[in-house]
Structure 1
């Protein structure tokens, strides 16, 4: 059974009314949590690319990425849980895992199921909630992985 039904959440996936790049996050994280996500990406066999600026590099340990000098460019990790769905992680700080998805890639029940599976995998690995806020509305999640329910739920 699906975590969420498209008919119940489609309004939150309208790129014109909510913005096309919602903010996803895992609050209250550590370097070890970041490493757990990097390990998950590799264990799942998800296609991924790590960048520092415009330079593509092998994926380093989280500790290395998060200990970069303050004036260094913010590294990013592009992850494709399936070929047509991209999540971009940005290593701003260790206390929160931040990433974006493009709502234009997440239309319909099948793609919603992909997103829910992705959030569920991250949330289960970390034992922490994974939240999705409308673009630019950090702190106002509309849906997310609920640890106690062990599924993605509607929060709005």
Structure 2
């Protein structure tokens, strides 16, 4: 996608951007972790301290309620986080200020497409906590990314 067409999706407005795979299951989380483990991305998994990435996705949802796990993924210098909020929804967040040029956006889009291919599910980029407002979407049926709407500045 051309940078000029997607640049506003990453304009800083005080909020982060989210990447979602909606209507997910524990099996989807497992396929996601399997994909990430074999990907080129550097991964860091933390609870109270750095730990090995769980072999089984269910392990990420276990443990004390007051210590939510954090998976950090280095996507070509852009830090993408997952907090394992819910089994029914895979959610990542990223700071849009880290997406400064076309190559950064392409790295994020490649990450989204990789997840979509691994799970055979749509993947969307949205404003923070707005899963109903997809800005960019990956469609596994067509293996393409599509810009869905303009976004920029404060909502």
TM-score (norm 1): 0.88
**Are 2:27 and 1:32 aligned?**
yes
Task: Give the unaligned 5+ runs of structure 1.
Answer: none
- Between 1:136-145 and 1:120-129, the stretch displaced more is 136-145
Q: Distance in 2 between matches of 1:112 and 1:93?
A: 26
- Residue 127 of structure 1 contacts residue 147 of structure 1 at CA under 8 Å; is this kept in 2? yes
Q: Distance in 1 between matches of 2:38 and 2:105?
A: 22
User: How many angstroms does 1:36 deviate by?
Assistant: 1.0
User: How many angstroms does 1:105 deviate by?
Assistant: 1.2
**Are 2:143 and 1:150 aligned?**
yes
Q: Distance in 1 between matches of 2:78 and 2:17?
A: 14
Q: Distance in 1 between matches of 2:133 and 2:24?
A: 19
C-alpha RMSD of matched pairs (Å): 1.5
Task: String of CA shifts for 1:70-98, please: whole Å, max 9, x gaps.
Answer: x342211001122x111101111111101
Q: Distance in 2 between matches of 1:73 and 1:130?
A: 27
Q: Distance in 2 between matches of 1:22 and 1:142?
A: 10
Secondary structure, in 3 states, of the residue corresponding to 1:65? helix
**Are 2:94 and 1:101 aligned?**
yes
Q: Distance in 2 between matches of 1:39 and 1:68?
A: 21
User: How many angstroms does 1:13 deviate by?
Assistant: 1.1
Task: Give the unaligned 5+ runs of structure 2.
Answer: 150-155
- Structure with the larger strand share: 1
**Are 2:48 and 1:50 aligned?**
no
User: How many angstroms does 1:45 deviate by?
Assistant: 3.1
TM-score (norm 2): 0.88
How many pairs were matched up?
148
Q: 1:87 aligns with which of 64, 69, 80?
A: 80
TM superposition outliers: structure 1 runs of 4+ over 4 Å: none
User: How many angstroms does 1:20 deviate by?
Assistant: 4.2
Q: Distance in 1 between matches of 2:131 and 2:23?
A: 14
